[in-house]
């Protein structure tokens, strides 16, 4: 996810995004379908109205999950979107989902004469940088168990919907290890 928990009630989108709303299309996404694909150009960003997504990178046949996206989160691959190059990761629906899609052309169009929108994007990215740096830091300073407990604490509801193997991949550990951690904690 790029942004965690935007406070949206359909009409309660962030001010800066309102001008984009006329261009946005609501779409149903089937479980297992991709919104962004590693190797292909990412030409949208989206807001999750319903469902769960995972973002992952594939190397040597192996998937590494870098994040999850839940209801109320904005997501995209900023590197691909803003540099106009192929995406370095895949974003896949883990459940049937409903999203609000903002096509790239419209975003870029709107961006040209809309300073609040630019500011909004900058803040979003700056906050995401912080999220990533914190994760990097916690990966070194905390044990797998501590990281799992922390995840439970920050995302108690959402985490229940995600298979153990995916959570393990996100935490950077094996499924066996997470299984044992859960056993120990119960």
Partner DNA sequence: TGCCTCTTTTGACCTAAGTCAATTCAGGAG
Partner DNA sequence: CTCCTGAATTGACTTAGGTCAAAAGAGGCA
Comparing CB distances to DNA, the nearer of 39 and 172 is: 172
Question: Hey, which bits of 74-127 come out as E strands?
Answer: 74-75, 90-93, 97-103
Return the bridge partners of 63, or none: 58
Rounded to the nearest whole angstrom, what is the least distance from the CB of residue 121 to its own copies in the complex? 6
Contacts with its own copies by CB under 8 A lie at 57, 59-60, 62, 64, 66, 78-79, 81-83, 88-89, 111-112, 115, 118-119, 121-123, 125-130, 132-137, 139-141, 172
Contacted entry of its own copies, DNA, none for residue 179, CB cut-off 5 to 8 Å set by kind: DNA
Binding to DNA, residues 140-179 (CB under 7 A): 143-145, 163-165, 172-179
> Which residue, 71 or 177, is less far from DNA as judged by CB?
177
User: 145 is in the binding site of which of DNA, its own copies, none (Cβ under 5 to 8 A by kind)?
Assistant: DNA
Query: DSSP labels for 1-62?
Result: --BS----SSS---GGGGGGTTT-EEEEE-TT-EEE-TTSB--EEEEEEES-EEEEEEETTE
* For its own copies, the closer CB: 50 or 176: 176
d(CA 138, CA 16): 32
| Cβ-based nearer residue to its own copies, 26 or 58 | 58
- Find the part of the chain contacting DNA (CB under 7 A) among 11-19, 71-79, 125-133, 137-145: 137-145
Those residues with Cβ within 8 angstroms of residue 177's Cβ, 6 or more apart along the chain or in another chain: 144, 168
When asked if residue 107 is in the footprint of DNA (CB under 7 A), the reply is: no
Q: HSE on the CB side for 125, CA within 13 Å?
A: 12
Residue nearer to DNA on the CB measure, 17 or 173:
173
3-state secondary structure of 136: helix
Q: CB-based contacts of 144: which residues, under 8 Å, 6+ apart?
A: 171, 172, 173, 177, 178, 181
Shortest distance in whole angstroms from residue 158 CB to its own copies = 20
- The residues binding DNA (CB under 7 A) are 143-145, 163-165, 172-180, 182-183
């Amino acid at each position: 996810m790029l942004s965690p928990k935007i406070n949206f009630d359909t009409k309660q989108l962030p001010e800066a995004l309102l001008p984009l709303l006329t261009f946005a299309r609501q779409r149903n996404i089937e479980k297992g379908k991709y919104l962004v694909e590693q190797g292909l150009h990412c030409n949208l960003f989206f807001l999750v109205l319903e469902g769960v997504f995972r973002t992952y990178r594939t190397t040597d046949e192996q998937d590494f999950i870098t994040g999850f996206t839940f209801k109320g989160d904005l997501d995209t691959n900023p590197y691909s979107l803003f540099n106009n190059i192929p995406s370095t990761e895949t974003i896949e629906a883990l459940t049937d989902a409903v999203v609000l899609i903002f096509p790239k052309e419209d975003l870029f169009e709107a961006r040209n004469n809309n300073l609040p929108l630019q500011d909004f994007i900058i803040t979003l990215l700056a906050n995401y940088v912080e999220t990533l740096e914190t994760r990097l830091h916690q990966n070194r300073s905390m044990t797998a168990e501590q990281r799992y407990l922390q995840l439970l604490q920050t995302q108690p509801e959402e985490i229940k919907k995600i298979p153990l193997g995916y959570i393990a991949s996100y935490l950077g550990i094996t499924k066996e290890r997470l299984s044992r951690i859960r056993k120990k904690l119960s």
